[in-house]
Structure 1
């Protein structure tokens, strides 16, 4: 089993859109600035409560959700390995004769017509004259 990377927890950048910093949410225009102490405390409060609520939520629900998702993906893999992929293979095997029949019909009936039309239209010449 591979080790869990405790530093880089999103190596495939699946949740890159969730990187939300204080500056991404709150911004004051040049004309309207609050007092510096309010701005600094707002930053501290935002960061603290974002981290606190996230950690509390993951502590309460994270393991249960991970367990449910593990079961869901196991069920999906089971379905694909034991049902969906074999059914698709059976379908491909059963459709193979029809695919060959369709190819023969196209080559016998449609291909000569297309060749004749191609030969007929290949002799058309278009001359552009300036007036």
Structure 2
């Protein structure tokens, strides 16, 4: 089901948490333990520089690469869908049909050749009784 681009949620862009593993917040990456603190000004400046650089770099990369990446991934998933719908699924169905016929033939051969021998051996061995004797 296609989503109308105008109805996209511009705030919550990962509603299914697909990329929670790539979250890179300052608090998740940098931490100074008690007794090892930089100067307050350095800490604040580092925080601002980190977030500014990360945001700027990400935006530049998305401007340059997001549309070509979307084209690439759209084509990849279209090709994968085509393959699954028109090639793989029909091929699997054909193999299953062939294997069904082979299964019927093989089970007839086994029932004809092996069942009599197995039944005879079973009847011969069914009267064996095992007892334990004390020494």
Gaps of 5+ in 1: 127-131
TM-score normalised over the length of structure 2:
0.75
2:10 corresponds to which residue?
Answer: 6
Residue 13 and residue 105 in structure 1: after superposition, are their counterparts in 2 closer, same or farther (change >3 A)? farther
Residue 20 and residue 107 in structure 1: after superposition, are their counterparts in 2 closer, same or farther (change >3 A)? farther
- Radius of gyration: which is bigger? 2
- Mapping of 1:1-131 within 5 angstroms? 1-2=2-3, 3-104=7-108, 109=114, 113=118, 116=122
Q: Offset of 1:5 from its aligned partner? A: 2.2
Deviations 1:55-108 (A, max 9, x none): 110011100110111011111111111111111111111110122334455666
1:129 corresponds to which residue?
Answer: none
Q: What RMSD over aligned residues (CA atoms) do the two structures have, in Å?
A: 2.8
Deviates more, 1:53-62 or 1:77-86: 77-86
**Alignment length, in residue pairs?**
123
- SS, match of residue 16 in structure 2: coil
Residue 102 and residue 9 in structure 1: after superposition, are their counterparts in 2 closer, same or farther (change >3 A)? farther
TM-score normalised over the length of structure 1:
0.77
